[in-house]
Amino acid sequence: MNFHGGNIYEYDNNIIDFSSNINPLGVSEKLKNAIIERIDEVSIYPDINYNKLKNNISKYINVDKSMITVGNGAVDIIYRAVQNLPMNNVVIMAPTFSEYRKAAELSGKRFFEIPSFNFEKNIFDMSFFDSKIHSNSIIIICNPNNPTGVAIDKQSLTKFLKNIKDKGCFVIIDEAFMEFTCNENKFSMVDMCNEFENLIVIRAVTKFFGLPGIRLGYGISSNKIFNEAMENSSKPWDINTFAVIASAVIFNDYEYIEKSKKWIKEETEFMYENISKIKGFLPYKTNCNFMLVKSDKNSEYIEKALLKYNILIRIPKGFTGLSKNFIRVAIKDRESNIKLINALRSEFCE
């Protein structure tokens, strides 16, 4: 059974999808032009070593190419890491994205979910999480976190890494939404991968660059065990030609990047303000392009009600450790956001 967002294929064609959290600016003109121009390249095999792809990523995140692993979406890297790292346990900070649990189950490793989110303060309780860590574990932290939207700062993560350094753990930080924080210096651990050799950062072009259909994720680590495990578990030509073409364009598309950052700031504030005013709905401050909202109603009831307005939202079923009184909504373009707010008002305020 699938509880992911974005599964619009089960609904009417005109559904407005607040369940998946993708940049609504869509595919940039620059990328469209590059694909059209280079379309014939799909008739030759991609470079099995993905040299140019790795170079493009290396320049974008300012990390040595030798530290980069590429995958068929971030989820490919997460699954392979969990499967192949030599630890028996997988530990996550709940509530979070459900694929970590699925990866653990598939690998046969023991799965521990540590409910570390303080819903009153809207922060993760790092010292509580810290105190519960099993040694010999793969620890997965989604930062900023899905579905809470909140980001843990670099200082706290660095402290955490130091605290657990003798426990023989790998720490995977999934930064799929990092660019939306508009403050990578404060939150991203990419530049700490040289300092902590048990650290793995995972990124993707899916969310911020609005390209879930292109399937491109990447991992960053200075760890030999990890990098070798990833090389050995990769299949030849895992990444398609269009993803390679995209990497040459999107990371330098400053216009798209700036426009996206302007949009996210404006619309996050707009949504927060307006949902706050709706009786029975409590939005959480977010560092992301989605918002966790607490309600005094059951999420399945809210989901059903909004479907009458052709609006699809995300309910807690797809997450690990989230109660039924929460919904998650994407931040979209102004026009769509107004539709969501109006639907909530009509249904629950009048």
Inter-residue contact 322 to 95 (CB < 8 Å): yes
CB-nearer residue toward its own copies: 25 or 182? 25
- Binding to its own copies (CB under 8 A): which residues in 243-262? 243-244
Task: Single out the residue of 231, 236, 254, 279 in contact with its own copies (rule: CB under 8 A).
Answer: 236
Helices 99-107 and 74-84: crossing angle, nearest 10°? 40
Q: How far is the CB of 155 from its own copies (least distance, A)?
A: 33
CB-nearer residue toward its own copies: 41 or 125? 41
Q: Which residues are bridge partners to 69 per DSSP? A: 219
C-alpha to C-alpha distance for 94 and 322, rounded to whole angstroms: 8
C-alpha to C-alpha distance for 203 and 108, rounded to whole angstroms: 25
C-alpha to C-alpha distance for 35 and 56, rounded to whole angstroms: 16
C-alpha to C-alpha distance for 204 and 178, rounded to whole angstroms: 9
Task: Single out the residue of 121, 224, 235, 279 in contact with its own copies (rule: CB under 8 A).
Answer: 235
Chain-centre distance for alpha carbon 167? 26
Chain-centre distance for alpha carbon 181? 12
Q: How far is the CB of 18 from its own copies (least distance, A)?
A: 13
79 binds its own copies (CB under 8 A): yes
Please state the φ and ψ torsions of residue 235, each to the nearest 5 degrees: -100, 150
Q: How far is the CB of 194 from its own copies (least distance, A)?
A: 28
What kind and span of H or E run contains 86? none
C-alpha to C-alpha distance for 3 and 326, rounded to whole angstroms: 15
CB-nearer residue toward its own copies: 13 or 62? 13
**Site string (34-73) toward its own copies, x via CB under 8 A:** -xx--xxxxxxxxxxx-x--------------------xx
337 binds its own copies (CB under 8 A): no
* # residues contacting its own copies (CB under 8 A): 53
Q: How far is the CB of 24 from its own copies (least distance, A)?
A: 8
Interface residues toward its own copies, by CB under 8 A:
2, 4-9, 17, 20, 22-23, 26-27, 32, 35-36, 39-49, 51, 72-73, 75-76, 79, 99, 106, 210-215, 232-233, 235-244
